[in-house]
Amino acid sequence: MSRFAAPIAEQIWDMKYRLKDADGGPVDGTVEDTWRRIARALAAVEADPAAWEDRFYHALEDFRYLPAGRIIAGAGTGRTVTLFNCFVMGTIPDSMAGIFEMLKEAALTMQQGGGIGYDFSTIRPRGAEVKGVAADASGPLSFMDVWDAMCRTIMSAGSRRGAMMATMRCDHPDIEAFIAAKQDPARLRMFNLSVLVTDAFMAAVKADGPWELVFDGRVYKTVAARDLWNRIMRSTYDYAEPGVIFIDRINAANNLNYVETIAATNPCGEQPLPPYGACLLGSVNLARLVRDPFTPAATLDPAALDDLVRVAVRMMDNVVDASRFPLPQQAEEARNKRRIGLGVTGLADALLMLGLRYGSDAAVAQTEAWMKAIARAAYLASVDLAKEKGPFPLFDAEGFLSSGNMRHMDADVRAAIRAHGIRNSHLTSVAPTGTISLYAGNVSSGIEPVFAYAYTRKVLQPDGSRTEEEVVDHAVRLWRDLKGDAPLPDWFVDAQTLAPLDHVRMQAAAQKWVDSSISKTINCPEDISFEAFKDVYMAAWDSGCKGCTTYRPNEVTGSVLTVAESADTADKAQPVAPAQTGGEVVYLSDPLDRPAALEGATYKLKWPDSEHALYITVNDIVIAGHRRPFEVFINSKNMEHYAWTVALTRMISAVFRRGGDISFVVEELKAVFDPRGGAWMEGRYIPSILAAIGGVIERHLIAIGFIAGEGLGLKADPQAQVMQVGERPRGPACPSCGSHAMKMIEGCMTCADCGHSKCA
């Protein structure tokens, strides 16, 4: 009998986490094999591997403890990949040589599958003098564009797109340009942006006082603090970025403020990290620990929670020794501090099983109690590890215990740390768990409320037919099993109906016992007023949160996964299916067979200084009356081109035959630059012959109506412009499968159909 509660869970495992050989054949026959592979790899560093392997396996069994996706996919595979999800890179020097050394380090990190965070506040502002070269500085945003281009070029290990976070201090002279940067729809697409907000700035905002923009001791400009705050808020209201990080609060609470200063976070914000800091994540699945759900005796088993946390801490500590690192500085940083981030998922489902409404006083109190229990168990487990294996190398009892976070820790925990030290400098964090939550049976994600209690997932088959499967939230599925067709009780609220301030209260309750930070999205209704929207951020500040991220659907950001009320079922919501018209993408789970004849076009490309032209043929397949690219051929009399053109055409054709939104192929080709130099063609600079080929393919996709125009994505569905009265807009298209089922969870757009997420 399968351990998977739903087909989508098994599909996520097979697509993202199952070990396969070089030809795509499965090595992990079952999910039990995956659990055994992980348990064996993490137990290998123990003195008695066999004993710990069984305990680790039991923790993983039935999705009780969920390591981060990097660990599930990479542990025990022998592959040269990092098991750490994300990194904050080194401090960027304010010099050309230093900046490009940092760019190289970023590329090496992303090549092994790590997302990265950077603080760009250290680069001098635009227009500042560059001594010795009689020039003015181009400013940090120009270099962010370079990072963005690099990220588009590199595919992270495990087929995950690179994710990056850029931060800038609220007193940097270029902060206004930073705030507005992503209002240009073509700029900095690979970045999340956050403003580092200081205590002094928030005091100036509340006092409506002046605020100086300063670099290297020089005041460049003085603005009204409240005006600058309103600029941040207006951009976030309209464009969903930048986020806000309360950086002084983070540093004051930091357990290691005696040896490090933090100025950036990983891409989703749950791990504020020092230079070269690494982010190691895992989650306890609270929904699996509830006894007697939906009864008066319902409770979360405290003994099971304590035991699971202690085993999880040991597993995560072992990852530090088992993992590879892209850079030696990252390995040194991780081993000197042994930072881990144990969090939770399934919180909202667990509350539902206890009859508690997410955001209510009772739910807030219960959340705080659970998070405190996890923190206590984690810290005491780390003390036990310190007794056995020694504390982390940079441990200093007085410095550690005097931090803002440790001062409110229980006296017995503080006494144990003082007496024995502690193995890990940090232990708790709440990470984005969108994909692993689907893998675990569609439990609610992280500390987020349930987004939709049920929805219909459209699955397109190789022959073009369409099947449907219902994806049901874990708590709702359990309710159905126990209660049959009884309607859901009124405490079953979801992200669509919650007031934004309920989100803030839950985040603040969890944050009190989390020593790092929390990835959380506060969903705001489209019609929320600007003043009420600003109140959400001020409430986050006043209640002790370390940052705030919101999402308000609108014409610019797009709508999140659309849900519609259903009066004749017990389900609270399901998404509106995409219309089967116009430019809809056909997603193929398996490659489609090639018809005997195809329509296509051949284009001549003459690269300057090349003796022979390239001839590029793009053939299309017609499905339901609509053309989409199916294969590419490149021919040339120049035999020096033969090997790479054959390889390129085979790879592109394989991608085309899988379906979905394949427009990214154009973006990848156009981003390739030749270090020997590009060429001017038709009045524009083309960085390489591969970029020129990308331009040819792009023109063909425009000609057949597959994409809307140069530099744009999929061509809009013609009927989407003629919406019926009362119809809600569809969400953004998934870049992996083309489905309009994207939803914002924990700062990441996640596809409800295929599980694609930049931050998985």
* Total number of residues shown for the chain: 760
Q: CB of 445 within 8 A of CB of 430?
A: no
Structure tokens belonging to residue 549? 């991220």
Q: CB of 469 within 8 A of CB of 459?
A: yes
| Mean pLDDT value of segment 734-747 | 61
In DSSP notation, 109-146 reads HHHTT-EEEEEGGGSPPTT-EETTTTEE---HHHHHHH
d(CA 237, CA 533): 7
In the chain, the percentage of residues whose pLDDT exceeds 90 is 59
Residue 667 pLDDT: 82
Amino acid at 742: M
Is-catalytic flag, 748?
no
Is-catalytic flag, 266?
yes
For the domain with range 86-265, which CATH number is right: 3.40.50.2000, 3.30.70.380, 3.80.10.10, 3.20.70.20?
3.20.70.20
Question: Among the listed ranges 185-194, 208-217, 434-443, 520-529, which one has the minimum average pLDDT value?
Answer: 185-194
Is-catalytic flag, 442?
no
| Mean pLDDT value of segment 547-569 | 63
Q: CB of 120 within 8 A of CB of 166?
A: yes
159-162 own/partner pairs: CB under 8 Å, 24+ apart: 160/113, 160/758, 160/760, 161/190, 161/735, 161/758, 162/110, 162/115, 162/116, 162/190
Residue 468 pLDDT: 76
What does the pLDDT look like over 270-323, one tens digit per residue?
A: 999 999 998 899 999 999 999 999 999 999 999 999 999 999 999 999 999 999
- Triad 287, 293, 299: Cα angle to 5°: 75
Backbone angles phi, psi at 218, to 5 degrees: -100, 130
Residue burial 143-152, b: 16+ Cβ < 10 Å; e: rest: bbeebbebbb
Segments making up each domain of the chain, as ranges: 7-80+283-420, 86-265, 451-584+727-751, 599-703
In the chain, the percentage of residues whose pLDDT exceeds 70 is 85
Most confident of 125-129, 397-401, 622-626: 397-401
- Looking up tokens 């087929």 gives 159
Q: What is the Cα Rg of the chain in Å?
A: 26
Contacts of 473 (CB under 8 A, 6+ apart): 349, 442, 443, 444, 450, 452, 453, 454
Q: CB of 262 within 8 A of CB of 273?
A: yes
Q: Which of 581, 579, 578 is nearest to 740 (CA)?
A: 578
The dihedral built from the CA positions of residue 122, 123, 128 and 129, taken in this order, carries a sign that is positive
| Mean pLDDT value of segment 746-751 | 66
For 15-35, give the secondary structure using H, E and C: HHHCCECCCCCECCCCHHHHH
What does the pLDDT look like over 318-343, one tens digit per residue?
A: 999 999 898 999 999 999 999 999 99
Q: Which of 721, 698, 730, 716 is nearest to 582 (CA)?
A: 716
Mean pLDDT of the chain: 86
Q: Is the pLDDT of residue 584 over 80?
A: no
d(CA 411, CA 396): 18
Question: Among the listed ranges 31-45, 112-126, 215-229, 501-515, which one has the minimum average pLDDT value?
Answer: 112-126
Q: CB of 79 within 8 A of CB of 442?
A: no
Structure tokens belonging to residue 565? 């009320």
Q: How confident is the model at residue 585 (pLDDT cuts 50, 70, 90)?
A: very low
Residue 693 pLDDT: 92
Q: CB of 472 within 8 A of CB of 438?
A: no
Structure tokens belonging to residue 678? 């590009």
d(CA 308, CA 302): 10
Q: How confident is the model at residue 725 (pLDDT cuts 50, 70, 90)?
A: very low
Question: Which residue of the set 268, 279, 524, 759 is catalytic?
Answer: 268
d(CA 673, CA 691): 7
What does the pLDDT look like over 94-144, one tens digit per residue?
A: 999 999 999 999 988 887 767 899 999 999 999 998 877 767 899 999 999
d(CA 350, CA 489): 15
Structure tokens belonging to residue 406? 């440790």
Q: Is the peptide bond before 525 cis (omega within 30 degrees of 0)?
A: no
Contacts of 538 (CB under 8 A, 6+ apart): none
Q: CB of 509 within 8 A of CB of 364?
A: yes
In DSSP notation, 430-497 reads B---HHHHHHTTSPPPTTPPPS-SEEEEEEE-TTS-EEEEEEE-HHHHHHHHHHTTPPPPTT---TTT
Q: Tell me which of 706 and 196 has the higher pLDDT.
A: 196
What does the pLDDT look like over 448-487, one tens digit per residue?
A: 999 888 887 766 555 556 667 788 999 999 999 999 999 9
d(CA 430, CA 343): 4
Question: Which residue of the set 53, 105, 241, 270 is catalytic?
Answer: 270
Q: How many Å is the maximal CA-CA distance in the chain?
A: 82
Q: Tell me which of 245 and 559 has the higher pLDDT.
A: 245
For 276-305, give the secondary structure using H, E and C: CCEECEEEEEHHHHEECCCCCCCEECHHHH
Question: Which residue of the set 266, 405, 424, 619 is catalytic?
Answer: 266
Q: CB of 460 within 8 A of CB of 589?
A: yes
DSSP H/E element including 454: strand 454-460
Entry pTM: 0.78
Do β-strands 679-681 and 684-686 pair in parallel, antiparallel, or remain unpaired? antiparallel
